[in-house]
């Protein structure tokens, strides 16, 4: 548990962050008069979904990430392609990778039955990300609401907006900075990789063909590498591997794995190439409560990235309809 001094620091940080978010006009009580049961409906549905399939918790969290980094937090990741435009979900980095679209649709249907035309798809993603994280052991955080859904979804915008699995530390910092998140935010939010699974292809080069030399990345723990090769044979990069050694629990083990050379993707391992990354990893391992708390604070900050092209509240999260305000 955190010490009393660190608890005081975390409490102070919370007050400051809430003040910043409030200036962005999102509020925790946005639906209190129009749909007071919204948060309860979302939590109940997330509980059902994750009870049926724990691996979906990570997918539901990732939808919020992938939404906010492209056009801001506007629910555009949920939109289907049109005759003229390929949507974000069809972009190479997202296609056959993102999960949870049907589950979000199910939650939206429940909310529309209870409160027609009230809760935005972007707000659903924010609430779902929190509840899915908590369901696997994370600390809860206040979800600020009042986002307006976006008007478009463009696949070509994804690659220039999201971090890549091969990014180095500087590239990660730059990508997060573009949406107003700092280096600490990047390191803490990377802890989202504590849950879920990865295609073996996401770290194929590190495991089998490091720098095109037909070898394993020498920085990877040798025993871990051999174990990984048994789970991810060279001829089958489409198999899945847990994101960390406790991938069904949201915890700080992700950072422990990095510190012991058991990271998977280049972008994960890149955190250990910078003193600040090492510092925060050590802090997370030494004080897991602090990491869980700071992750929630970073999620609040990420969730405050404004929509670049606000449109209205969509009744169907996958389709652009006439404006609803």
Which residues are marked as active site? 66
Residue 251 marked as a ligand binder: yes
Residue 246 marked as a ligand binder: yes
Residue with token string 């935005």: 120
What would the two tokens of residue 314 be? Answer: 């969509």
Residue 64 marked as a ligand binder: no
Residue 193 marked as a ligand binder: yes
Residue 100 marked as a ligand binder: no
Residue 142 marked as a ligand binder: no
78 C-beta neighbours (distance < 10 Å), count: 29
22 C-beta neighbours (distance < 10 Å), count: 13
Strand, helix or coil for residue 145: strand
The helix (H) or strand (E) run that includes residue 310 is strand 310-312
Residue 209 marked as a ligand binder: no
What would the two tokens of residue 157 be? Answer: 């915008």
Instruction: Give CA 242 to chain center in angstroms.
Output: 16
Hey, which bits of 201-300 come out as E strands?
A: 240-242
Q: DSSP per residue over 148-177, as a string? A: -EES---GGGTTTTSPPTT--HHHHHHHHH
* Cα–Cα nearest to 243, from 258, 232, 231, 254: 254
Residue 149 marked as a ligand binder: no
Residue 72 marked as a ligand binder: yes
How far, in Å, CA of 133 to CA of 249, rounded? 9
Residue 227 marked as a ligand binder: no
* Cα–Cα nearest to 249, from 292, 216, 207, 290: 292
Alpha carbons within 13 angstroms on the beta-carbon side of residue 302 total 33
Q: DSSP per residue over 253-272, as a string? A: HHHHHHHTT---SHHHHGGG
Binding site members for heme b: 193
Provide the annotated binding site for substrate: 163
Binding-site annotation, residues: 67, 70, 72, 74, 76, 88, 163, 193, 246, 251
């Amino acid at each position: 548990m955190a010490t009393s001094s660190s608890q005081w620091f975390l409490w102070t940080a919370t007050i400051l962050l809430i003040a910043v978010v409030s200036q962005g006009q999102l509020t925790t009580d946005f639906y209190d008069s129009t749909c007071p049961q919204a948060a309860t409906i979302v939590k109940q549905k997330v509980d059902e979904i994750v009870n049926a399939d724990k691996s979906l918790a990570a997918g539901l969290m990732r939808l919020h990430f992938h939404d906010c980094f492209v056009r801001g937090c506007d629910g555009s990741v949920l939109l289907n392609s049109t005759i003229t435009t390929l949507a974000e979900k069809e972009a190479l980095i997202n296609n056959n990778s993102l999960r949870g679209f049907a589950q979000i649709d199910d939650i939206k249907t429940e909310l529309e039955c209870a409160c027609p035309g009230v809760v935005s798809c972007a707000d659903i993603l924010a609430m779902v990300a929190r509840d899915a994280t908590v369901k696997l052991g994370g600390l809860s955080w206040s979800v600020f609401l009042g986002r307006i859904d976006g008007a478009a979804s463009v696949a070509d915008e994804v690659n220039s907006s999201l971090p890549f699995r091969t990014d180095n530390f500087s590239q990660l910092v730059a990508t997060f900075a573009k949406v107003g998140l700092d280096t600490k935010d990047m390191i803490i939010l990377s802890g989202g990789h504590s849950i879920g699974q990865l295609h073996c292809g996401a770290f194929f080069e590190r495991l089998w063909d490091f720098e095109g030399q037909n070898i394993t990345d020498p920085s990877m723990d040798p025993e871990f590498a051999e174990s990984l090769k048994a789970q991810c044979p060279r001829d089958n990069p489409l198999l899945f591997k847990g994101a960390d050694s406790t991938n069904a629990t949201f915890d700080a083990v992700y950072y422990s794995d990095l510190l012991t050379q058991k990271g998977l993707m280049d972008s994960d391992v890149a955190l250990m190439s910078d003193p600040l990354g090492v510092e925060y990893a050590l802090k997370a391992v030494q004080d897991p409560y602090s990491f869980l708390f700071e992750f929630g604070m970073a999620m609040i900050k990420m969730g405050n990235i404004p929509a670049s092209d606000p449109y209205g509240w969509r009744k169907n999260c996958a389709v652009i309809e006439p404006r609803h305000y």
